[in-house]
Amino acid sequence: MNKIRVLVSGAFGRMGREVVKAIVAQDDMTLVGAVDKTGVGAEIGQVCGLETLGIKIEQDLLSALKRTEAEVMVDFTTPLAVMENIKAAAETKVAGVIGTTGLTAENLEEINELASKSEKCFLVAPNFAIGAVLMMGFAHEAAKYFPDVEIIELHHDRKLDAPSGTAIKTAELIATGRVAEPVAKPAPLEKINGARGGEYLGIKIHSVRLPGLIAHQEIIFGNQGQTLTIRHDSLDRSSFMPGVLMAIRKVPTLKGFYYGLESLVD
């Protein structure tokens, strides 16, 4: 059996380590490279608490992609680095599974163009937890009957971007699911600027960043005499791995740009 050759970009980070451990445990995948700007030279197996894998963390992504002949790059880095990483993957004809958030609409358009030119598949997913994908789908359906809604997203205190990519994607799905617009409300008198949260597509989004959290989101719909709350909690980073592994298996057989894990779910 030919195994899928996978390189992890951002391998030294917390999500990167989980991805490494998940890949090593699969019979149909092989880890061929680990790249990060931190931990350069460290043996990735030892970093992840595994047996020695014979793979050291290196810093030059483009060089690593060429040398390892990777088929798929998994990227969990930062919004400041991810676009250059995707360009390197496109240049070397390597498919991409992108979990880094903070990408703009312009970034997504550029990734679409890179996927087209390279004739490879690039998946950008704000959230790889299957439960989060279901949460967003349920919110899309609920928006038909509950146009009034607010989103509260809660993440660990080291997350750089706000609101989260999941919250933005959820708001987009709610906006397309609405058949009626919310009733106009008087402008709030904010005693503290920003107390009512940010607004995207007419939906208030509130971001919480605290130690002890991983990734959580609550969607609260309101209607006459009732509320509907849809919530998802990722209590451990391992919750994202089934989605990441599914994406790794699918992108080598596809071409083009996909946004959201739901685009790959049957």
Degrees, nearest 5: CA angle 171-173-175: 70
The pLDDT value given to residue 264:
84
Reply yes or no on whether 159 is catalytic.
Answer: yes
CATH code for the part of the protein at 4-124+237-263: 3.40.50.720
The pLDDT value given to residue 258:
96
The pLDDT value given to residue 266:
60
Taking the C-alpha atoms of residue 264 and residue 121, their distance in angstroms, rounded to an integer, is 11
Quick one: which of 22, 11, 20 has its CA closest to 81?
A: 11
Taking the C-alpha atoms of residue 80 and residue 264, their distance in angstroms, rounded to an integer, is 26
Could you say which of 21, 120, 140, 155 is catalytic? 155
Stretch(es) of the chain classified as CATH 3.30.360.10: 130-234
Could you say which of 56, 66, 156, 159 is catalytic? 159
Residue 147 gets the label, from left (phi > 0), alpha (psi -120 to 50) or beta, of alpha
CATH code for the part of the protein at 130-234: 3.30.360.10
Reply yes or no on whether 155 is catalytic.
Answer: yes
Taking the C-alpha atoms of residue 172 and residue 136, their distance in angstroms, rounded to an integer, is 10
As given in the structure block, the two tokens for residue 6 are: 């996978």
The pLDDT value given to residue 188:
81
Stretch(es) of the chain classified as CATH 3.40.50.720: 4-124+237-263
The pLDDT value given to residue 101:
85
Say if pTM beats, i.e. exceeds, 0.85.
Answer: no
- Going by their DSSP bridges, the two strands 57-58 and 121-124 should be labelled as unpaired
Q: Which residues of the chain have pLDDT under 70?
A: 266
